[in-house]
Chains A and B, each alone.
Chain A
Amino acid sequence: MNGSCLMAAALAIPLAGTVLILMSDRWPNLREAVTLATAASLFAVVVMLVPEVYGGGRPALRLWEIVPGLEIAFTLEPLGMMFACVSSGLWIVNSIYSFGYMRAKKEIHQTRFYACFAIAIAAAVGVAMSGNMLTLFICYEVLTLSTYPLVVHRGDEESIRSGRVYLGLLLGTSILFLLGAIVWTFTAAGTLDFTPGGILDGRLAGPAIGLMLFLYMYGIGKAALMPVHRWLPAAMVAPTPVSALLHAVAVVKAGVFTVLKVIVYLFGADFLRESGYADWLMYVAAASLLLASCIALTKDDLKARLAYSTVSQLAYVVLGAALLVPSGIIGGAMHIAMHAMGKITLFFCAGAIYVATGKTEVSQMDGIGRTMPVTLTAFLIGSLSVIGLPPFGGAWSKYFLTLASLETGHMVFLAALAISTLLNVAYLMPVVARGFFAGGPPGAGTGAGTAIREAPALCVVPLCVTALGCLALFFYADALYALLLPIAAGGKP
């Protein structure tokens, strides 16, 4: 099979899976088997595309012209390849986790849950493979709408209110700013194709560049750049598998992925750097990075803390992109994968703790490491990866980001990165510390505190897999680096 067929398959498989999931409504086992089969075959197809892209190929799939001059078109390049692999690969793990979680919590509307999940993944893969900004925008909006039912899954007053924030911010910013920016780009440049080196060079001048960048950066609400980050904590009302895959990986990464795409392929990093109208973005990203970390410190609810941590980590990616040098772009791109693996582990752990003990607040988690040692060890590994300590994947992306700040001579960002790393330690480590060490002598009162009581195996196995993934990413980072190198070079023809 050639690249185009594989790409078509990658889009069609999750959609076909959705239909099958809806049809197997009455048979939960069949429904879950379908989900798993869909996830596995999607990942297989995506992986089959890797050699071609790795070898410098850019498989493309052109569907049809939606309006004259604008096509629904897909082109796979390294950045998208990486994002597609991350989303589809983690979907397998997350599906298994979902089975354990959803069954243990006896959730309602499970068919709707799995169906929307499949559509969301299809949209995420669509975002990853988009060949032009219009296609990306369409997939972006499908992603928003398909995740809405997942956010309001419980259907109570609180979820509806959170759903409003979620949809209002994501749909609102995308229609108000992003669509405006896209149409503007189209009228200015006459095309929306992602082109190495950008399409806006020479078509836009002066403060208009800054304004356009502003529209894009705040139009891409999924990148959660402060102050349009409010939707992400709101989305935590969803079941944990949703928070894990969508609000730590697929949705938020679709946002920063779009940021990278826009900067690299629409503006062109060189054009932006020379214009001088992009400097504000670095400062905004750095501020967002520090502020979100500080807010994370104040959150007692574990998922809320992780959500603000995600806001902060997304700002790393934006900062990397905003530095507009190859090492920054590579660092930012790498951080998409590294943070995904680390953060999904953390969410899996948070969910497992909730399933096993019903606890959601950090302050309640004293001594929990003694009853759930596997889970909390995985949590430790995930935390270390997010903090950026070797030998875990997160170390590499932070290394490149640090390198980029040094290269550009912006010592202030070096300081920001350092402080933020300390803040990471400050808001993640207490969970581990409390879990393993706090709570005084266990069993002093009841005697039952030391018995091992982990979450169901279907929950525990996935979080072990992703924890090991954090480790693996450290050692295979060079492959990722080699894959991503061309996009940074793409800025310099």
Chain B
Amino acid sequence: MAWLGLYNYWIVVFLMMAGLYIVIARENLIKKLVGLNVFQASVFILYITVGKVDGGTAPIIAEGIEVYSNPLPHVLILTAIVVGVATTALGLALVVRINEAYGTIEDDELEERERET
């Protein structure tokens, strides 16, 4: 049952696949963005998992503590989260504009409209 010990990686893989599936399979542009966020979140968890050191604590210097978790992945992922938020914001803004222009945010309907023009 050693593989269960790596359960956080299983979560990562599940979220990654679920997110990608949503992006690919859903027609609704908002849902696609949600999927994208799930997908990105899986990567955040991957990084944080990597940074965890067994028995380590938060990387704050204190008396009597020898083992710290690696803080670098947290910092990296903070940046990645910012990027993710910016992407989501921009994506949503585009969806609003698309809705104004076409009156729909369903991908298949959009394609139909585009083919008409």
Direct contact of A and B (CB under 8 A): no
Residues of chain B having any CB pair with chain A under 8 Å: none
